[in-house]
Amino acid sequence: MINQLVNNIKKLDAPIVVGLDPMLDYVPEYIKKSAFAEYGETLEGAAEAIWQYNKGIIDATYDLIPAVKPQIAMYEQFGVPGLVAFNKTCEYAKSKGLVIIGDIKRGDIGSTSKAYAVGHVGKVAVGSKTYSGFCEDFVTVNPYLGSDGIRPFMEVCKEEKKGMFILVKTSNPSSGEFQDQQIDGKPLYEMVAEKVAAWGDELMGDSYSYVGAVVGATYPKMGEALRKIMPKSYILVPGYGAQGGQAKDLAPFFNEDGLGAIINSSRGIICAYKQDAYSQFGEENYADASRQAVLDMKEDLKQAWVK
Ligand SMILES: O=c1ccn([C@@H]2O[C@H](COP(=O)(O)O)[C@@H](O)[C@H]2O)c(=O)[nH]1
């Protein structure tokens, strides 16, 4: 899967992942009206609305982008129907040739991590049969529990040729409270990055590892140091756009080959129609506004990654 991700990025000249983070407030009224007419103002109605909204965005952008990143929290808030919408979204995006990065941020004691890994990137055995519960190609993983929490994901990823992005330095304002703590003269996020590089060496694709890292666009200086510590790991970079990360600061996240980083934008793309810059599209054409926002992001990012 890492090879497919790299090939998609090269083919499209677009190190971009669109974050599918649907809140009901983002969904145009006409979509909600139709979903509520069919299912009422219920969890099922909300799930139908976010699914239809996502489908519109995927249809309008799939030929421009290598990957999507559905954020599972946005679906879980609608309970079981929300999770059904999550799965439908992943399956549909996959049918369009997109790589699926499930932003699930899991990680637990070994036996529990194994179940998370099996459920999201593996196959579960039921009697003599096996099933894929969900169908992501990559998942995000929290390293706080140490190797016990990571190795089960590595084992399943190795078996299935899927991948993971481990949280190294997150984009949020308080990420430094723990991640920047100095231990033996080194920040914790660098220690995690060293482990990511070592785990990554065990699971190499053609040129990049199946084990990647998450590093926020909001911390470009740290991104520069981390790029050097993990040369073979793809970096998933959230924080561009809505959180203030800017293209001009992103060059250090890339390797000399122009690869090695994929930049996420969620609200900046899926809510484009609500922004002044795209107001001419109107609510009815929200998906066209998202397409234009992807084209603009691609242009904006050229300053960071075209060598
Ligand atoms: O460090 C991190 C890790 C994950 N995220 C997730 O990425 C998106 C960002 O959404 P925007 O609307 O583009 O701000 C969201 O799903 C976060 O949970 C992150 O922001 N930072």
Q: If pLDDT is split at 50, 70 and 90, which confidence band does 53 have?
A: very high
What residue owns the CA closest to ligand 1's atom 19? 238
Residue 66 lies in a domain: yes
Residue 145 gets which letter from DSSP?
A: G
Determine what percent of the chain is predicted with pLDDT higher than 70: 99
Would you say residue 193 lies in a domain? yes
Q: Is 96 a catalytic residue?
A: no
C-alpha to C-alpha distance for 119 and 124, rounded to whole angstroms: 7
Residue-averaged pLDDT of the chain: 97
Residues with CB under 6 A from ligand 1: 19, 21, 71, 103, 170-172, 214, 216, 238-239, 241-243, 264-268
Catalytic residue among 55, 88, 94, 105: 105
pLDDT tens, position by position, 70-97: 999 999 999 999 999 999 999 999 999 9
For residue 198, the domain's CATH number is 3.20.20.70
Query: Atom 6 in ligand 1: which residue has the minimum CA distance?
Result: 238
d(CA 248, CA 77): 35
Q: Determine phi and psi for 298, rounding to 5 degrees.
A: -60, -45
In one-letter notation, the amino acid at residue 303 is Q
Q: What is the dihedral sign for C-alpha 302, 268, 231, 155? A: negative
Q: Is the pLDDT of residue 306 over 60?
A: no
- Classify the phi-psi angles of 185: left when phi > 0, otherwise alpha if psi is within -120 to 50, otherwise beta: left
Given ligand 1 and candidates 18, 86, 171, 294, which is best to mutate, with the most ligand atoms within 8 Å of its CB? 171
**Does residue 306 sit within a domain?**
no
Residue 201: predicted pLDDT:
97
Domain assignment of residue 289, given as a range: 2-301
State how far the Cα of 180 lies from the Cα of 6, in Å rounded to an integer: 30
Beta bridge partners of 164: 139, 211
271 alpha carbon – ligand 1 mean position (Å): 14
Residue 58 lies inside a defined structural domain of this protein = yes
- Residue 207 DSSP class: S
**Mutate-to-test residue for ligand 1 from 21, 138, 140, highest number of ligand atoms within 8 A of CB:** 21
Would 108 be classed as within a structural domain?
yes
**Is residue 307 one of the residues assigned to a domain?**
no
Question: ipTM score of the complex?
Answer: 0.99
Is the Cβ–Cβ distance between 36 and 45 less than 8 Å? yes
Question: Which of 307, 301, 232 is closest to 16 using CA atoms?
Answer: 301
How many distinct structural domains can be found in the chain?
1
pLDDT tens for 166-210 read 999 999 999 999 999 999 999 999 999 999 999 999 999 999 999
